[in-house]
Structure 1
Amino acid sequence: MKLHGLEFPENLLYAPDYNLWLREEADASLTLGLSAYGCALYGQIFAFTPKRDGQHIDRDRSFGVVEFAKAASSARSPLSGVLLASNEEVVRRPALINQDCYGAGWLVRLQADDWPAARVGFLSGDEALAAFAERMRLAGFDPDAPGVQALQP
């Protein structure tokens, strides 16, 4: 699925308010990463500093810090759980987030506290696209801005 030239794979769940995607793994853990829209908003990412593996992360609390251009932002978790692993390759090479946000550029893996209950709060397919479209509209997102074009495949 595409929106303003940005990819949103259909096989993922999304937390548009956090600009994150989630993937359910075979071991019942969740992989989280920055969506293409999140990448477009941040621009070139220079660093990702995750919290310590094994730490419990509460919903709306930071699981790490993303540094970009002349600023930094807390990456907030859309659900509570234990941080199982951080993507060490992204810590070493943060440009992977911009290059492959849905693949090699994933950020962290979590074990959710109550995934069946939390899952209903995440969007997929057309619902996710509509939510991102509304966020883009409200933010005055310009898909033709030079920094955004650089992130498009």
Structure 2
Amino acid sequence: MKLHGLEFPDGLLYAPEYNLWLREEPGGAVTLGLTAYGCALYGQIFAFTPKRDGWHIDADRSFGVVEFAKAASSARSPLAGDILASNEAVVRRPGLINQDCYGEGWMVRMKPDDWAAVRDRFLQGRQALDAFAQRMYLDNFDPDDDGVQALRP
């Protein structure tokens, strides 16, 4: 699925208010990563500093810090759980987030506290695209602006 030239792969869940995607993994883990829209907003990412593996994160709390062009932002989790692993490749080479946000650029893998209770809060397919379209409108996002560091084919 594409929106304003940005990719939003089918098969993932999305938390538009956090600009994150979620992927269910075998054994009940959930992988989180920044969406293409999040990458477009941040621009080039220079550092990702995650919380330590084993750390418990409450919903809406930071699982790490993303540093980009003269600023930093907390990456907030849309769900509560324990961090099982952070992506060490991204810690060493944060540009992987920009280069392959849905693949090698994943950020953390978590074990949610109660996945069954929160799974339905996340969006898929057309619902996700509609929610991102609304966010882009509210953010005055202009994909044709030369300053936008969007991921493009």
Q: TM-score, normalised to structure 2's length?
A: 0.98
Per-residue Cα deviation, 1:105-147 (whole angstroms, up to 9, x for no partner): 0000000000001101000000000000000001100001223
Distance 1:149 1:52, change over 3 A: closer
Instruction: State whether residues 90 and 106 of structure 1, in contact with CA within 8 Å, keep that contact through their aligned partners in structure 2.
Output: yes
Cross-structure match for 1:44: 44
Per-residue Cα deviation, 1:60-98 (whole angstroms, up to 9, x for no partner): 000000000000000000000000000000000000000
Amino acid at match of 1:76: R
Cα drift, residue 151 of structure 1: 2.7
Amino acid at match of 1:54: G
Q: Which runs of 4+ in 1 moved over 4 A?
A: none
Cα drift, residue 152 of structure 1: 1.4
Structure 1 residue matching 2:85: 3-state secondary structure: strand
Distance 1:99 1:116, change over 3 A: same
Amino acid at match of 2:17: D
Matched pairs, number: 153
Q: Compute the RMSD of aligned alpha carbons.
A: 0.9
Please give the residue correspondences for 1:67-78 in structure 2 after superposition, counting only pairs within 5 Å: 67-78=67-78
Amino acid at match of 1:96: L
Cross-structure match for 1:112: 112
Structure 2 residue matching 1:148: 3-state secondary structure: coil
Name stretches of at least 5 consecutive residues in structure 1 with no aligned partner. none
